[in-house]
Structure 1
Amino acid sequence: MYRYTLCLIRKADQWLLLNRQKQPAMGMWNGVGGKIEAGESPADSVIRETFEETGLTIPDVQFAGTILLRAEETAGIYLFLADLPSDQQLTTPFATREGILDWKRLDWILEPDNIGVISNLKAYLPRVLEQTTLQQHTFEYDGHRLLDYHVVPLEQEIR
């Protein structure tokens, strides 16, 4: 079982991202999430973490695969997608204890010259949005330098 979750929340053609004010990935735009607590399922964890980091109650999350980050230590992440419920609003930019939240368009996120978005998000997000089967996205790093990225099908869905 992996220790972390990540949620990418969509509102129409925009995605809610967090510019982190602390490590890991300080100063980079990424989704919201965090550590899975004892007794939590990955889905329960990502719903709790999303509320803690954004104030949003996301009742339904869709498991979208896993991310494996291999560097000096290996970290595994359960990835989820969610749509902002129609009865909720979040006006941004909005500062939280974790960083700054803001809605970003997909073309902004994926812009090759945009160095402020965490590199692995730019690599896996297009595949996740196009996928017909769940996938594991594996990234090999030397420090912060990406050495390799590959994708394999996942055997089963995680909840």
Structure 2
Amino acid sequence: MTSSKYKYTWGIVYCRETNQILLLNREKHPWMGRWNGVGGKLDQDEDQLTCIIRETWEETGLHLPQYEPRGVMTWSENGNDLGGMYLFTAIVTKQEVESYPTPKKFCHEGILDWKNLDWVMHPDNSGVVDNVKVMLLNLFKASERSLFVTEYRDGKLAGVDYMPNGH
């Protein structure tokens, strides 16, 4: 059994060859109607890697054992600690992207789509969860020790601090 300080996992699936990431447009709170990574809540006695692999399978139908840990993101609002989540990335091939056509609705969570990273990061794009765009600047160079500290003020993103050796 692995003890987990945080209750959630979050993953980004990326294809270098096509410069695309797989995102989920959520149908419910939190982040309803916004593009986000996949992931979810750890089951009792479940380790973080097992959780992100399971959640990805449940939300996409993809079995991705190649996930790499990229640290932790914590978040707070108006100074109140709201918890955190374990971060992961998985690299897939162009062939895997082509064999997984989108957009598609695989489960009740929402619509999945491969999105070009330039589109995701565009400054005028308000359809992606705010902290996702900021985290993607450092996520693929982050390590298991990295820490992303996210602060919200009155429901709006105030900032994300990246600490490569943070925790």
Per the normalisation by structure 2, the TM-score is: 0.85
Indicate yes or no: 2:44 matched with 1:50: no
Judge conservation of contact 1:133–1:153 (CA < 8 Å) in 2: no
Unaligned runs of 5+ in 1: none
Is the contact made by 2:75 and 2:84 (CA closer than 8 Å) also made in structure 1?
A: yes
Pick which of 124-133 and 145-154 moved more. Answer: 124-133
Equivalent in the alignment of 2:126: 115
Q: Is the 8 A contact 2:68 2:89 kept in 1?
A: yes
C-alpha deviation, 1:87, in angstroms: 5.9
Q: Could you list the runs of 5+ residues in structure 2 that have no partner in the other structure?
A: none
Matching residue of 1:94: 104
Equivalent residue of 2:31, what SS?
coil
The residue correspondences of 1:60-79 to structure 2 (distance < 5 A) are: 60-71=66-77, 74-79=82-87
Give the alignment partner of residue 11 of structure 2, picking from 7, 12, 15.
7
Instruction: State the identity as a percent.
Output: 39
Q: Which residue in the other structure is 1:148 paired with?
A: 159
The answer to whether the 8 Å contact 2:9/2:87 transfers is yes
Rounded Cα–Cα distance in structure 1 between residues aligned with 2:163 and 2:83: 17
Tell whether the 8 Å contact from 2:13 to 2:89 is kept in structure 1 after alignment: yes
Shift of 1:65: 1.5
**Aligned mates of 2:124, 2:108 — CA distance in 1:** 28
> Contact 1:65/1:154 (CA < 8 Å) preserved in 2?
no
In the superposition, relative to structure 1, how do residues 113 and 155 fare at CA in structure 2: closer, same or farther (>3 Å)? Answer: closer
The alignment status of 1:124 with 2:154, answered yes or no, reads no
| RMSD (Å) for aligned C-alpha atoms | 2.0
Q: Which stretch of the first structure deviates more once superposed, 58-67 or 70-79?
A: 70-79
- The answer to whether the Cα contact below 8 Å between 2:89 and 2:140 also exists between their aligned partners in 1 is no
1:21 match: 27
Q: How many residues align?
A: 156
Contact 1:66–1:136 (CA under 8 A) maintained in structure 2: yes
Contact 1:2-1:75 within 8 A present in 2 as well: yes
Structure 1 residues 150, 54: CA separation in 2 closer, same or farther (over 3 Å shift)?
A: same
Q: Is 1:83 matched with 2:87?
A: no
